[in-house]
A and B are shown apart, each in its own frame.
Chain A
Amino acid sequence: MTPIQLQDSVLTNVGEPEGVFHTRDSIRTFVQQAEQLLGMLRGTTEKTFSLPLTLSEKFYALHAAAPDFIFPLRVTVLKKQLYPTTLSKVSDRDPGWASCTGIPHYFFMIGTTHIGFYPLSPSNTLNAVITYIAQPPITFDAESYFSNPEWHEAYVHYVAGILLAKEQKYAPAGEQLNMFLTKSGLVRDPRFSGAEVRGERANILLHPPVEAQVG
């Protein structure tokens, strides 16, 4: 599906022609967001970059090197995969981690913006190769999609959902979002159904207590 075809399909789902109310420019922004959400859910927006390590550096800002970084999938140093861990675990295991150098065996995220390695890099010559989920660019032409065509139909439903909510048609908007999840091979979310938005679903117990079942 080209971006033009995708935009046409969105407008068909919404039931409004292109005009003042919905423009192709606004659709593009939401297509990117759909691509990003699916990237986070299904890992469809994968990229790799090389992060130069510095002697005894405790942690590294990721977005200076990779502005589109969202979260890591895999980290290697000298072609050896590092084990994921946390700052808490490292601090607990070795309170002196911040002055311990050696070839890194572990990596840990600090918040969402920094990454650390344990042990700390022993030199300025090592590189960490980081595979990560990236924020996709906004689509401008037929070639600029980040992910494969099999996901394009899902994007149509996501964007249609947003535009319907903008029009204050919340039940069909929620249905479109659930279609997005279905087309992405994900579990539908009851919060997006119209009943949930109106507050009716909240009264229905999905898992009634045992006492109620046995009377």
Chain B
Amino acid sequence: MAISLSYLNTAKDLLLFNASDTAIDSVITEEWEQQVNVLAREYDLFVTAATLNTTAGKSIYSVPIGTTRIISVIQRGISLGYTDRANLDIREPDWEYAQPGTPQLWAYNAVPGEIDSPSITVTPREFLIHPAPDGAQAGTGTLYLIIEQVPVNYPAWVEPILLYRTVAHIAQENPNLVQPEKGVWFNTLADYWLETARKQQQV
């Protein structure tokens, strides 16, 4: 969701630009989008769900585009336990050969897609469930993910935080507009807002 005209003009006003000055518009718009991304990656504010199909014997799956973190993985109504790959490798060194069955654990994937194939990389966009589902467990829509995602639409209460962060970063970092004290001041204000919101929302 792009910055609204009202907030665009407010940001320009705080940076001492007139509403009619359009040269700074793209800078503010890009910084605003960037701050949405940063907020989504820093905190579990914007959550959504996704349903995936599972295949018998297949343990590695991809998360939807834009996912920043997996919060919970539910297979056929049962929450899977989280483990990290190092622990899984130590506890069950041969887990890649494990017999399919009822999945118990999930972890972010670190298994190379194809050896000697540089175009296929390991990314946090993949996760694995262990053991891989067997015929009875696999099926359409059996895997339910609760994920943190860079939002397309975010709630309006976030906008003041985005406004202050956008103004702070532009004031501090834009070489054509260096107002470091203004950057520090608005960053402090944005922090206060964010602390208040996170404390009350317990995220």
Report A-chain residues with C-beta under 8 Å of the C-beta of B52: none
Q: Does A18 contact B (CB under 8 A)?
A: no
Say yes or no: B6 contacts A29, CB within 8 Å: yes
**Docked complex: A126-159 residues within 8 A CB-CB of B:** 133, 135
CA distance A170 to B8 in the complex (A): 23
- For A163-186 the 0/1 string (1 means CB < 8 A from B) is 001101010011001000000000
Say yes or no: A197 contacts B77, CB within 8 Å: no
Interface centre among B45, B144, B146, B157, by most chain A C-beta atoms within 10 angstroms, is B157
- Residue of B49, B157, B186, B197 near A59 (CB, 8 A) is B49
Assign chain A's interface to a size class: 35 or more
Interface 9-mer from B10-18, B27-35, B115-123: B10-18
Say yes or no: A111 contacts B185, CB within 8 Å: no
Q: Does A110 contact B (CB under 8 A)?
A: yes
- For A89-118 the 0/1 string (1 means CB < 8 A from B) is 001000111110000000001111110000
Say yes or no: A174 contacts B49, CB within 8 Å: no
Say yes or no: A95 contacts B185, CB within 8 Å: no
CA distance A21 to B200 in the complex (A): 35
Report A-chain residues with C-beta under 8 Å of the C-beta of B14: 162, 165-166
Say yes or no: B202 contacts A109, CB within 8 Å: yes
Report A-chain residues with C-beta under 8 Å of the C-beta of B153: 63
Interface 9-mer from A1-9, A46-54, A188-196, A207-215: A188-196
**Docked complex: A30-85 residues within 8 A CB-CB of B:** 33, 36-37, 40-41, 58-59, 63, 67-71
Interface centre among B14, B45, B155, by most chain A C-beta atoms within 10 angstroms, is B155
Given contacts A67-B155, A71-B200, A98-B78, whether A191 and B188 have CB atoms under 8 Å apart is yes
Report A-chain residues with C-beta under 8 Å of the C-beta of B156: 67-68, 135
Given contacts A59-B49, A110-B47, A114-B47, whether A173 and B155 have CB atoms under 8 Å apart is no
Q: Does B160 contact A (CB under 8 A)?
A: yes
CA distance A85 to B203 in the complex (A): 13
Interface 9-mer from B55-63, B92-100, B125-133, B176-184: B176-184
Residue count of chain B within 8 Å CB distance of chain A: 45
**What are the nearest 5 A-B pairs in CB distance?**
A99-B77, A111-B47, A91-B79, A71-B201, A95-B79
- Residues of B at the A interface (CB closer than 8 Å) are 6, 10, 13-14, 16, 44-49, 71-72, 74, 76-79, 81, 144, 146, 148, 151, 153, 155-157, 160, 179, 181-182, 184-186, 188-189, 191-193, 196-197, 200-203
A-B contact pairs, 17 of them (CB 8 A): A29-B6, A37-B193, A58-B144, A59-B49, A67-B156, A95-B79, A96-B79, A99-B77, A99-B78, A109-B202, A110-B71, A111-B45, A112-B201, A114-B47, A114-B49, A165-B189, A170-B182
- Residues of A at the B interface (CB closer than 8 Å) are 26, 29, 33, 36-37, 40-41, 58-59, 63, 67-71, 86-87, 91, 95-99, 109-114, 133, 135, 162, 165-166, 168, 170, 173-174, 177, 189, 191-192, 196-198
Q: Apart from A98-B78, A99-B77, what are 19 other A-B pairs with CB-CB below 8 Å? A: A29-B6, A37-B196, A40-B200, A63-B155, A70-B200, A95-B78, A95-B79, A98-B77, A98-B144, A99-B76, A99-B78, A110-B47, A111-B148, A112-B201, A133-B200, A162-B14, A165-B14, A191-B192, A197-B184
